[in-house]
Amino acid sequence: MIEELSRDVLEPLVGAVAYSVVGIALMVLGYLVTDWLTPGKLGELIWTERNKNAAILLTSNVLGVGLIVVGAIWASEGGVLRGVVSTFVYGVIGLGAMAIAFLILDLLTPGKLGDTLTEEELHPAVWVNAAMHVALGGVIAMALS
């Protein structure tokens, strides 16, 4: 009975907590990467200045990371520890891919994408970049399955 309880309740509980911690850590890392790529302080832009462009970009980053975490959990095999480690590794790869895609798009388009984020008026380029973040998250998540 103790073994059943451990297998049916404790293992999934430990897994849920561990994956939650990794998911939160990756989202914080995603926030820091996005803050690094954009001019000014992302927190000020979003929460103080209520900048919609910056909010859209950060939202897409969170959604992309979330897709990667879900895909990594879905594909994980071999126990919680192995699954959590692989989730973190794939999450970091996804964040790197999003950052590289941001920089490439910035090179391919006129102006500076980071500066566009600080504009008060909604800018179409932010939507393009946001779509790219979510799409990359989906691509990486599907690559895991």
The parts of the chain modelled with pLDDT lower than 50 are: none
Q: What's the pLDDT at 48?
A: 94
- 78 backbone dihedrals φ, ψ, rounded to 5°: 90, 25
Is residue 48 classed exposed, middle or buried when 0-12, 13-18 and 19+ CB atoms within 10 A define those classes? exposed
> How many C-beta atoms surround the C-beta of residue 4 within 10 A?
8
Q: What's the pLDDT at 53?
A: 92
Q: What's the pLDDT at 107?
A: 87
Average pLDDT of the residues of the chain: 85
Domain that holds residue 70: 1-144
Q: Give how far Cα 46 sits from Cα of 35, 95, 128, Å.
A: 11, 20, 19
Closest CA to 138 of 85, 70, 57: 70
Q: What is the pTM of this model?
A: 0.81
Give how many domains the chain has, as a whole number: 1
Closest CA to 140 of 86, 79, 78, 59: 86
